[in-house]
Amino acid sequence: MTHASVKPLTLTLGHLYPDQLNLYGDRGNIMTLQRRCQARGIELRVVGLGIGDALAPDEYDMLFIGGGQDKEQAPVAQDLYDLKGIGLWAAVEDDMPVLAVCGGFQLLAHYYRPAEGPDMRGLGVFDAWTLHKGKRVPRCIGDIALNWNGSTLVGFENHGGRTYLGTAKPLGKVLKGSGNNAEDHTEGAIYRNAYGTYLHGSLLPKNPHFADHLLSLALKRKYGGEYYRVLAEAPPASNGYSSATLPEKSGETSGESIMVTAVMEEEPLTPPSFQLAPLDDRLEWEAHAYILERLGLHHAAAATIRAHIQE
C-alpha cells in the first residue's frame, strides 16, 4: 500500500498577552516548544493575542498565557473575561492543551484578590481562587520541585498570592518549595488538557518531558485517528537533534528510523499509535538534576541522572 500524499505536521499556538504577561522569561516556554518542533520537522506557528484581539478557538492547536505584575493583570483580566473568555472556554472543553503560568494561572481560576484594589474576576476554568494576604506576608519565592506523572518538575516561583483548590486536581505534590499556598503541598491545577502552575524558570526548558507532553496532546488532538502515522527513534543528527526520512511505502522497514510525519493513507491505521521522536536532552536534564540537587533532593537527582544523562 502506498501513501497518497505526505505532508509535514503543523501546529498553531496562540500566545495570550505576550507584551503584558512575560515575567521571569516565560517567553522561553514558547522558544522551547518552537525548537522542539523544529528539531522534529514540525512547523509551529506562534500568533500573539493582545488586548482587543478576539480568540477564535478553531484557529489554534495550543494556547499559552504567562504571568505579570498586579497592575498589568487588571486590564488583562477584563479583556480575558469580556473578549476572549468564550473562545478560551470552548478551546478548553474541546481538549486543546493550555499552559497558564503564575498570573495566567490565577486568571483562569475564579478570582484573584490582590493586596490592594478590587478583585480580578477570572474565567473559572480551574475550580480555585487566589488571595494575596498583604505585603507584610512573605512571598512564595525560590526554587521548587514537585512530583508529576511518575517523574519530577522543577522551576522557580515568585508569587504573593496564595491559591486554594476546590475540586480542581493539582498539577503535582510539592517536594520542596511553597507551591500554591505554602500550606497544603499542592502545586498548580489541571482541568482536561489545561494546566495552571506557578513554575517559572522558564518551566519548559528544564522540563523537556512536560514540553513533549503538551506537544503530544496537541498533535493527537489535531491528527489522532485521522491520518497520521508516528515513527520514532530517529538517530541524532549533527546538531544533536533527531532527524530521518519517511520511506516510500508503509510496509518498508529499511532500518532507518523515521521522524514524526503526517501521512494520508489509503486506509485508516488501526489502532493509531503516537510517540514523539526523542531528542538529545542531556543539557536540559543536567539543569533539571542540578535544581533537584540544590534543593537537597539527592535521590531524585540521582534517578534523573541515571534515566536521562548516563549512557
Residue 139 counted as an annotated binding residue: yes
d(Cα 222, Cα 237) in Å, to the nearest integer?
Answer: 27
Which amino acid belongs to residue 256? E
Residue 102 known to be catalytic: yes
Q: Which residue has the cell 534515566?
A: 307
**87 grid coordinates:** 473562545
Inter-residue contact 120 to 107 (CB < 8 Å): yes
Active-site residue identified among 102, 132, 140, 209: 102
Active-site residue identified among 15, 159, 200, 209: 200
Alpha-carbon distance values, 85 to 72, 235, 268, 309 (Å): 18, 43, 36, 42
**140 grid coordinates:** 512564595
- Which residues, at least 6 apart from 77, have a Cβ–Cβ distance to it below 8 Å? 107, 112, 120, 121, 122
φ/ψ (deg, to 5) at 55: -115, 105
What is the side-by-side strand order in the sheet with 186-187? 151-159, 140-148, 172-176, 186-187
**239 grid coordinates:** 546538531
Helices marked H in 80-204: 85-93, 103-107
Residue 140 known to be catalytic: no
Inter-residue contact 1 to 251 (CB < 8 Å): yes
Question: Which of the residues are catalytic?
Answer: 102, 200
Indicate the annotated binding residues.
139
Indicate the annotated binding residues for substrate.
139
